[in-house]
Each structure stands twice: as C-alpha cells, then as structure tokens.
Amino acid sequence: MTFLLRALVAFSLLSMGTALAEIVLHRGNGTEPDTLDPHRGTGTWENNIIGDMFLGLTTENPKGKAIPGAAESWMVSDDGLVYTFKLRDGLVWSDGVPVTASDFVFGFRRVINPMTASQYGSLLYPIKNAYAINTGQLNPDQMGIRAIDPQTVEITLEAPAPFLPELLSHYTTYPIPQHVVEKFGDDWVKPGKMVSNGAYVLQEWVSNSQVKVTKNPLFYDADNVAIDTVYYYPIEDSRTAVKMFKSGEIHMNISTGGFPAPQIKELLAEMPGEARVYPYLGSSYFPMNTSRPPFDDVRVRKAVSMLIDRDIINERILPVGNKTAYAFVPPETANHQAGAQVDFADWSMSKRTIEAKRLLKNAGYNDDNPLRFELIFRSSYDNQRVMAGTAAMLRRAGVIADIAGFETRIAYNRLQTGDYVMGDAGWVADYNDPYNFLYLLLCDAGPMNYPDYCNPDYDALIQKAALTLDLGERARLMSEAEQVMLNDHPVVTIDFSTHRNLVSKRVNGFEDAINNIHRTRFMSLDETKAAQ
C-alpha cells in the first residue's frame, strides 16, 4: 500500500470515527422525578425530561415562546371558541406507529378523567366541559376535543382563551401512545416499554441517580437534533451542582436556584456567560392552610404576612436580583394590568409590627399564649437560609415558627394533600398570562390550590374575565380579582424570581428564556471548545 493510499484510508477512518462519535449532554435537574408520565408530572424537573421526549400540538422555541409542534398550523373561529389544528404529515411514535389526532383526544380525555388523578387537570378547564368531567359530573368523551380526521384536532373552549397556543405546549396536553398504554397500563412509562413522539426516547431511569434518554431517529426533525444522548441528574444541593459543573461532570444545571445565592458575585466574575442570571415568569410564596387553625383566621394570616420582611429576604439573605413581591402575578406577565397589592405594602416594618401584634391579640394570641405553627419547606441550601431568617423575624414579634425541611417532591406532596400548616412554594408559569397564576387560587383548582382558598367573589371575577374578548377589560378584571384574593391573605408573596443557571461555554443554542424551558433538541455541543 502506498503512503498516499495509507494516508487516505487513515483519514477516512478518522472521519468516520468523528462522524459516529456520540454527542452526550449532562444536565443537572434539581430533584428526583416522581414520574415521567406527562399527565401525572407536576414539577419543572419532570418537565425538563418529559418535554424532551414528547411533543404537544405546540412546543417552545429556545426563547421559551410557543411555536408549532406536532401541529404545523391552526385556525381560530371568529368568536375565539374553536381552534382547529392540522398535524404534520408522517408523524410516528418511536416504535413506528403513526401519531394521529386520536392520540391527542385519548390523551386529553385521560388527563381530565378523575380516575387519572392528574394534579394538573385543572389546567384544561378552559376546554368545554373539562371542569364538569374532572369533578365527575360528565363522562370524558363529552370533553370539547375531537378528531375530525387522522390529521385534524378540533378543540372547543368554554370561553375565549388567547393563551391556548402557549398552554398546549405544556406537558399535561401531550399525546400518549394509546396502543402502548392499553397494553402495559401504568407500566407504560418504564424503560423498554415507553414510546414517545418527541426528539428523545427513554433508555434508563436509575432512582436518585440519573435518567438517560437517546435520540429518537423517527422524530420528524431528527436531522436537526445534534445531541445523541442526555443524562439528567437529580441534584438537590446547588453547591454540589457548582462543584460538578466546575469539574466538567455536568454541562448545565437548570433550575430556579442553579447555584447558591452567596456565590453569585463570585461566579459571575469567574465564569462570565456561564453563570447566568435573568428574570422569569415565576414567584415564591408561603401558602397558609386556610382550612385549619391557626390560618383559618384571616387576622392571623395577615399578621404573619405583615411580620415577614420581604426586603430583608431579597436584598440580604438572597441577593440575586429577585424583586420583592406584594402581589401574586409577576409584572412582566402578558395581558396583565399591574396595581393589585396587599394594603400594607408601603408601610414601615415598625408600623406593620404594631398592627400585626394588634391583630394577633384580637385573635387570642399574646405572650402567655404565643402563636406557634410548623413551617415546612423545600430543603435546598438557599431555602434553609430563607426559612431561618423568616423564623427569626417572626420570633422577634413573639411568633414561633418551627421550621422543617423536606425533599422537594415530599414538600410539594404535603402542600397538595393539605398535610401542612404553613409552607414554602414556587410557581413557574406554564403559559404567559395572568390566568396561569390566578387559577391556582380558584375554589376548584384542586391540589394546586395549596392554601385551600375559596372566595366566590374571586371566582366570579375570574369567570367574568374569561368571558371577555377585550384584552384590556379582561386584564382589569383579572387585577380586580387578584386584589380580592390579596385582601384575604391566603399566601405570603415573597418575590418575583430570577433564574440562576449554569451553562457551559461548550453548549450552543441555549438562550435565556423567561419561563426557563430549554429543550435539548435545539442545543449542540461545541467540541472545539475545551471542557471546563
């Protein structure tokens, strides 16, 4: 063999090896998933994985905006009540079975069926008959969704919902493979059984260790998916995430607190462009269980809210750029009219403390009978500091909060089942509209209504807004409803939050997104840049 021929063969083999090299992305993912069933998930840490494997009628682009997904286009009736979606040609599940409009109908009916116990069922209440079905008054086949033909899905609403295209990118609305679910039942979500219609397919799930997915070669846009394999790691402690990121064990850590607040200045200086801080449609708040003492008394709820200094929390304990919140809906929310806030928002802390003590005295609490309750929280490093500071604030006014930390999914389970007195929660918008925040406190919001709050006046205003086509008037009614709720103090609003994410310089295609949704299909790894 001549030197030239040997060189050509060697170059050819090298080129093939490079072409066939597996591209692997390692993602820190906050906490251990409870499930990978799109209709039973509840957390952003589940959304990150589920949204890589499944594709709804719409999906999110790198900036988190709704774009066509499984549906290539849609039309809306003049009254805003009927949406008609046209599916892309040739869509198939990862086992090769065609994806049809019936899969979406099957999925929507499964979510809204009370037997499924989907905690996000109320998210679909804008759809005709969804509430009545979810509360057992009608059968699932009476839901306002139908397959006109294998390529066409029609959705009929109770009232106009301008946010519907964004809502339909949420994992609760994803189709699931009826032929697989009917064969395996609840086991359909296990590796080796699950099939999906998105960019990735589940390969393994090692509890409290990792979830692994691989590229779906049958995905309609597979040619443009650059990353072959993704590992998601449940990393509760953001300090651990920083160490893993610096050592190159993970390429990114995507969560509300992707790195500890005390390290923000250090990391921004040390890793410019990799430590990323930006606002998002999310808030932190402390729900109070209004169905049990002591927070069944509005005087007690208001007093505790007044005693918590949000500025201390946001400017000293967690100085990460979060905005102090005296309202519930973030000011950046689309179709939103700002103005609602608790009535003591502009008071000094001394004035608030005097009034809080008066309210507590009228409710029967004093030095001889101090108010005492348990405050449960998600036991992240940052939350531990916030809760210790909150307990200290209350203690100075004679209120005793016994703080107790739990793994994130356990803490949320207690909130959802009402097994708490006061808790710690966060909410990230599923779509950009005030309704996505305000629906959480409707009487019929189910497990998502952590405080078990119910005020018919609030519900009536939200319902009136839902029937209003004029977006300005709709925004005004939503703001009026928010004020009614704030006057009842079912929650202590703490902040309008920022994202703190770690993203390697090797990752291309990542963009700051206000909803912090980052689908792997739009990313790639730059092998020419050195690892961390």
The 3-state secondary structure of 284-314, one letter per residue = EEEEECCCCCCCCCHHHHHHHHHHCCHHHHH
- The β-bridge relationship of strands 71-76 and 82-87 is antiparallel
**Phi/psi of residue 147, each to 5°?**
-95, 110
**Residue 501 forms beta bridges with which residues?**
276
- Non-local (6+) Cβ contacts of 170 within 8 A are 56, 120, 123, 430, 431
Give the single-character DSSP code of 316.
I
- Non-local (6+) Cβ contacts of 232 within 8 A are 27, 29, 48, 49, 210, 211, 212, 213
Distance CA 270, CA 474 (A): 46
Distance CA 480, CA 505 (A): 45
SS3 497: strand
Q: Which has the higher per-residue pLDDT, 333 or 356? A: 356
pLDDT tens-digit readout, 297-315: 999 999 999 999 999 999 9
Distance CA 395, CA 400 (A): 5
**Phi/psi of residue 278, each to 5°?**
-160, 155
Q: Residue 380's closest CA among 210, 257, 293, 253?
A: 257
**Residue 282 forms beta bridges with which residues?**
428
pLDDT tens-digit readout, 370-417: 999 999 999 888 899 999 999 999 999 999 999 999 998 899 999 999
pLDDT tens-digit readout, 432-458: 899 999 999 999 888 999 999 999 999
Residue 91 in this model has a pLDDT that exceeds 70: yes
Distance CA 422, CA 306 (A): 15
Distance CA 406, CA 260 (A): 18
Distance CA 372, CA 394 (A): 10
pLDDT tens-digit readout, 478-502: 999 999 999 999 999 999 988 889 9
* pLDDT of 226: 97
Q: Residue 99's closest CA among 123, 72, 81, 77?
A: 72
Extended beta strands in 46-191, E state = 58-60, 66-68, 71-76, 82-87, 145-149, 152-156
Q: Which has the higher per-residue pLDDT, 527 or 210? A: 210
* pLDDT of 530: 54
Q: What mean pLDDT is predicted for residues 30-34?
A: 90
Instruction: Work out the pLDDT band at 14, boundaries 50, 70, 90.
Output: very low
* pLDDT of 258: 80
Domains of the chain with bracketed CATH: 20-226+504-524 (3.90.76.10), 279-498 (3.10.105.10)
Distance CA 126, CA 123 (A): 8
Q: Residue 125's closest CA among 139, 111, 105, 107?
A: 111
Record the pTM. 0.78
